[in-house]
């Protein structure tokens, strides 16, 4: 028998009684001749106990069900003791407890409440409030969390993309009907003060431009409050360099007889802190106004719930559970409105003693919904109804009855209502002048919610034609832009006095005809809102004003009350992904993604790089793409600075060179020269982005008002009209046609591209990058960080010969120096140990090579280690730039990419190309060796 078997047998027979027998013969002599009854009784007793032990103890196995015959054992018995027969259950329970205690030393788990208890409203609110403390939840969070993949970004929980497959339907909604997004995470900063002082502070330090020409906060139309403006902010006094990012802003219309103005600046959350500190320093608003109790009412309530220690939920057996819970949870369960992460002591208001300017941080105080698409106005007009007036004589704590008493306010309301009704007759949202603002007071939209989802469609009527025409030409008159949403007291009043869903449902149930509209409207049900038009695509010549829409601004707390009625008008809901697609189709840079020169953009790039690198590392090493072999230097983030510097060097070299030299040669030479430079001697000029921003302007509009050309550039010395001109120039040089399948258009006469023009152009824009759109000529779908390269003359010949598909060139595979060095290094060390003279020479050569002598510690195989070699001349085609947004464009029907290229490189490329192929570049994905022809487009 094997040792294990013996052991098993021993274990099995551990409790079985052994035979009691005396082997020695001496027993016989010692034992007394007459054994008394006592000895005998003891023997019997001993036997009984032995037998007892044998009977009660089962086999050696520690499981209780070892006591059962095999055919009665079940696998589930091991964890469910109720499967065991009754007689074994108790023992099994005890064994289980012992196992749990002793075995793993598990942490003592708090006893969870039952599901029913957890789902009770008060407890649910408590749980939600606890979960909101780290990341801010939007008001539509629960709605989104049920339907979206949520991501935690910028301190918020945001919906990334729906769990449904709806990429295409969402695109269709954007181009034909309406797409809804919750943009409440955008932060609103409010500036209050006298108009002159505000403008002084903002303009003198934000820009070196005079207001008359520059797109500043002082834009005339925007200043009147009729339009929403948008611009790129720079650090105070640093105008040409150090941009902060793009913001949109909105002025409150002037109240007659007062110079006190309000300005709302909407910034992205990544940008908020930068802008806030900038505003503070510019306006000298250093003194903190302590949070005012009635003003920050809700925040206070939240704070008390946060700070109060949680009551111990121990129930003495005598008291009823429900009662004690009510006592403990009653005052606590208050819904968090606004920013749940902020402590109440955090200052939200700053005041300047010298200028009297007040800065207010209105983050999460105002809900912002964006409706994108041509039918968004009909969705709005169907979901919202202008407030009905009420005649209550008695003074009321609600705001609307008080307003109804004033004649002027009611007149204004009437005018606004008329305008809103006019909006119904508009055919498409894109007809309206971009950026118009309409203030309004509406009824509670929950009252008119349809029983089923219905698609909102516009009803174009011929009547009221003049009114409509006037609206689409002139926009909204100044006084109609006023809304009571600007008033903090009204906002708070509305937020506090919202009818709860429960009360509303109760009122609905009391209606005589079920499902009919509630009337009269309860007094609390009037909400001031602000409608802001968002312009669509404004650059380029095709698909004009695609993706126009409306922004709906609401007081906080009313988010869900407006969201559900909007959803019931059969709109699609989009997440963060969809806003990226939106801006991609519009051809505009998306905020943190495509602003590599801003601190927020740089931060985003770093995050994206680490994210992509992590994703790359998660793959098994044998399955990873070897980017070195693909000749891709920067698959995860783009070294814009290096690109700009290298092209600067190439440009200066190329100016001296004869025209015939190919770009590749120049690049190689330039690389060599730049290698000789010590890094310290390089000029520390940062790359710049040749940027302009169209200020909501359409051609028909120019005829009515003198809109200063809204354009921002990034180039020092040059005044911006010339920048716009130079962008136009560059655009015209790029070639006669735009992307695939679009009609060609006529441009004004531009100076042709020749060497003198080039020289003068590059003198001013040496270190710049320019935002371009690339559309693929043939097949192919570009990827993120695809390379834009210059085609050689042979490539262009291939293109003109025109074999479909196969004509594009291929990159010859590169050698993975790093891998071979690592291998050689391993072998080399071995050989050095054995001391062979032949390999020592090899080792010295490798150590001489500056690129290869990198430390092997933090090297990821397949990715270039950090001091990158020359990015331009690394591949067989010279690199111009990279792509930051790329996808198959559903609107153009071909692959389209957006990205930055070097201005110097672009001009050099264009001048060397024959006229019929001008503006043709090559695009190569990081994971492939295949180049694709693409047409470059600069849209002005």
Q: Which is nearer to another protein, 27 or 702 (CB)?
A: 27
CB of 75 to another protein, least distance (A): 16
Q: CA torsion 510→511→515→521, rounded to 10°?
A: -110
Q: Which is nearer to another protein, 27 or 460 (CB)?
A: 27
Helix (H) or strand (E) holding 775: strand 768-776
Q: Which is nearer to another protein, 39 or 719 (CB)?
A: 39
Please compute, for residue 661, the number of CA atoms within 13 A of its CA located in the half-sphere on the CB side: 17
Q: Which is nearer to another protein, 1 or 20 (CB)?
A: 20
* Tokens read off for 689: 């982005």
Q: Which is nearer to another protein, 77 or 337 (CB)?
A: 77
Cα-to-chain-centroid distance, residue 844: 49
CB of 70 to another protein, least distance (A): 5
CB atoms within 10 A of CB 238: 13
* Residues present in the chain in total: 940
> Residue 833, SS3?
helix
CB of 82 to another protein, least distance (A): 22
Give the residues lining the site for another protein (CB under 8 A).
Answer: 16-23, 25, 27-28, 31, 33, 35-38, 40-49, 51-57, 62, 69-71, 95, 98
Q: Which is nearer to another protein, 95 or 580 (CB)?
A: 95
Q: Which is nearer to another protein, 42 or 411 (CB)?
A: 42
Q: What is the largest CA-CA distance in the chain?
A: 140
CB of 109 to another protein, least distance (A): 25
CB of 91 to another protein, least distance (A): 9
Q: Which is nearer to another protein, 52 or 410 (CB)?
A: 52
* Tokens read off for 83: 């499967």
Q: Which is nearer to another protein, 16 or 836 (CB)?
A: 16
CB of 1 to another protein, least distance (A): 17
Give the span between the Cα atoms of 889 and 587, in whole angstroms. Answer: 11
What lies within 8 Å, CB to CB, of 314 at 6+ separation is none
Give the span between the Cα atoms of 206 and 680, in whole angstroms. Answer: 31
Q: Which is nearer to another protein, 7 or 603 (CB)?
A: 7
Q: In what order do the strands lie in the sheet with 366-372?
A: 437-443, 526-534, 549-555, 366-372, 179-182, 572-573
Closest by alpha carbon to 477, among 441, 433, 428, 443?
433
Give the span between the Cα atoms of 146 and 157, in whole angstroms. Answer: 13
Q: Which is nearer to another protein, 59 or 740 (CB)?
A: 59
CB of 44 to another protein, least distance (A): 5
DSSP assigned state of 66? G
CB of 30 to another protein, least distance (A): 10
CB of 23 to another protein, least distance (A): 7
CB of 38 to another protein, least distance (A): 3
Closest by alpha carbon to 527, among 497, 501, 506?
497
> Residue 265, SS3?
strand
Closest by alpha carbon to 649, among 633, 664, 635, 670?
670
CB of 334 to another protein, least distance (A): 52
Q: Which is nearer to another protein, 2 or 21 (CB)?
A: 21
Give the span between the Cα atoms of 633 and 185, in whole angstroms. Answer: 35
CB of 16 to another protein, least distance (A): 8
What lies within 8 Å, CB to CB, of 597 at 6+ separation is 243, 640, 686, 687, 688, 689, 714
In angstroms, what CA-CA distances link 267 with 180, 188, 511, 591, 655?
A: 20, 6, 44, 10, 43
């Amino acid at each position: 028998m094997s040792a294990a078997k013996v052991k098993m047998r021993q274990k099995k027979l551990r409790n079985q009684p052994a035979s009691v027998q005396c082997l020695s013969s001496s027993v016989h002599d010692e034992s007394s001749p007459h054994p008394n009854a006592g000895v005998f009784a003891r023997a019997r007793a001993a036997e009984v106990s032995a037998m007892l032990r044998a009977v009660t103890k089962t086999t050696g196995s520690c499981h209780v069900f070892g006591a059962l015959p095999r055919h009665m054992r079940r696998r589930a018995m091991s964890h469910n003791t109720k499967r065991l027969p009754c007689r074994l259950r108790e023992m099994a329970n005890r064994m289980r407890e012992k196992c749990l205690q002793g075995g793993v030393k598990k942490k003592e788990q708090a006893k969870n409440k039952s599901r029913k208890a957890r789902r009770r409203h008060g407890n649910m609110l408590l749980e939600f409030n606890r979960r909101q403390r780290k990341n801010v939840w939007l008001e539509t969070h629960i709605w989104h969390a049920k339907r979206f993949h949520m991501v935690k970004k910028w301190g918020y929980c945001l919906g990334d993309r729906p769990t449904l497959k709806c990429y295409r339907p969402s695109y269709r909604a954007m181009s034909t009907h309406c797409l809804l997004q919750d943009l409440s995470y955008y932060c609103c900063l409010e500036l209050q003060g006298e108009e002159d002082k505000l403008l002084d502070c903002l303009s003198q330090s934000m820009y070196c431009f005079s207001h008359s020409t520059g797109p500043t906060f002082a834009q005339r139309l925007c200043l009147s409050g009729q339009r929403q403006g948008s611009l790129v902010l720079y650090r105070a006094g640093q105008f040409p360099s150090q941009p902060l990012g793009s913001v949109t802003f909105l002025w409150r219309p002037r109240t007659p007889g007062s110079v006190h103005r309000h300005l709302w600046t909407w910034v992205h959350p990544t940008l908020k802190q930068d802008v806030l500190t900038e505003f503070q320093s510019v306006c000298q608003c250093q003194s903190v106004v302590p949070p005012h109790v009635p003003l920050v009412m809700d925040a206070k309530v939240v704070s008390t719930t946060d700070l109060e220690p949680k009551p111990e939920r121990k129930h003495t057996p005598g008291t009823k559970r429900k009662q004690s819970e009510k006592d403990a949870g009653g005052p606590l369960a208050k819904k968090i409105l606004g920013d749940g992460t902020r402590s109440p002591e955090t200052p939200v208001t700053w005041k300047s003693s010298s200028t009297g300017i007040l800065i207010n941080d209105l983050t999460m105080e105002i809900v912002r919904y964006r409706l994108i698409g041509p039918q968004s106005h009909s969705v709005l007009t169907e979901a919202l109804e202008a407030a009905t007036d009420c005649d209550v004589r008695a003074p009321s704590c609600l705001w609307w009855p008080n307003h109804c008493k004033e004649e002027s306010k009611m007149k204004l309301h009437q005018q606004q209502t008329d305008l809103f009704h006019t909006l119904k007759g508009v055919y498409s949202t894109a007809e309206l002048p971009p950026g118009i603002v309409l203030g309004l007071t509406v009824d509670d939209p929950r009252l008119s919610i349809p029983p089923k989802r219905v698609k909102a469609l516009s009803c174009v009527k011929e009547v009221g034609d003049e009114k409509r025409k006037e609206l689409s030409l002139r926009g909204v008159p100044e006084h109609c832009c006023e809304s009571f949403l600007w008033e903090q007291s009204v906002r708070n009043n509305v937020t506090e006095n919202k009818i709860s869903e429960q009360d509303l449902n109760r009122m609905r149930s009391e209606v005589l005809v079920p499902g009919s509209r509630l009337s009269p409207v309860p007094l609390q049900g009037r909400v001031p809102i602000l409608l802001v038009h968002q312009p669509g695509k404004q650059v380029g010549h095709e698909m004009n004003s695609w993706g126009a829409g409306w922004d709906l601004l609401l007081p906080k707390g009313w988010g869900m009350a407006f969201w559900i009625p909007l959803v019931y008008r059969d709109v699609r809901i989009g997440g963060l992904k969809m806003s990226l697609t939106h801006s991609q189709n519009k051809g505009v840079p998306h905020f943190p993604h495509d602003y590599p020169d801003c601190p927020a953009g740089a931060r985003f790039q770093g995050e994206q790089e680490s994210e992509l690198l992590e994703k790359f590392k998660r793959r098994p090493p044998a399955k990873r793409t070897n980017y070195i072999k693909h000749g891709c230097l920067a698959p995860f983030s783009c070294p814009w600075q290096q690109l700009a510097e290298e092209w600067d060097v190439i440009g200066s070299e190329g100016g001296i060179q004869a025209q015939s030299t190919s770009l590749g040669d120049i690049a190689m030479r330039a690389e060599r020269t730049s290698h000789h430079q010590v890094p310290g001697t390089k000029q520390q000029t940062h790359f710049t982005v040749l940027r302009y921003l169209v200020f909501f302007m359409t051609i028909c509009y120019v005829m009515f008002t003198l809109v200063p050309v809204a354009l921002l550039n990034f180039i020092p010395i040059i005044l911006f009209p010339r920048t716009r001109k130079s962008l136009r120039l560059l655009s015209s040089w790029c070639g006669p046609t735009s992307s695939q399948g679009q009609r060609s258009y006529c441009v004004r006469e531009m100076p042709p591209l020749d060497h003198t023009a080039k020289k003068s152009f590059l003198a001013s824009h040496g270190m710049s990058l320019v935002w371009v759109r690339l559309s693929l000529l043939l097949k192919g779908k570009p990827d993120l960080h695809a390379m834009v390269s210059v085609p050689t003359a042979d490539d262009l010949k291939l293109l003109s010969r025109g074999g479909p598909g196969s004509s594009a060139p291929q990159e010859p595979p590169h050698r993975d120096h790093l891998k071979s060095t690592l291998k050689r290094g391993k072998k080399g060390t071995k050989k050095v140990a054995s001391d062979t003279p032949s390999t020592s020479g090899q080792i010295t050569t490798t150590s001489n090579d500056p690129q290869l002598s990198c430390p092997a510690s933090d090297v990821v195989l397949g990715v270039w280690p950090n001091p990158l070699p020359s990015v331009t001349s690394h591949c067989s085609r010279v690199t111009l730039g990279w792509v930051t947004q790329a996808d198959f464009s559903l609107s153009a029907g071909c692959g389209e990419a957006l990205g930055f290229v070097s201005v110097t490189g672009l001009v050099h490329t264009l001048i060397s190309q024959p006229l019929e192929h001008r503006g043709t570049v090559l695009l190569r994905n990081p994971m492939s060796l295949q180049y694709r022809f693409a047409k470059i487009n600069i849209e002005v």
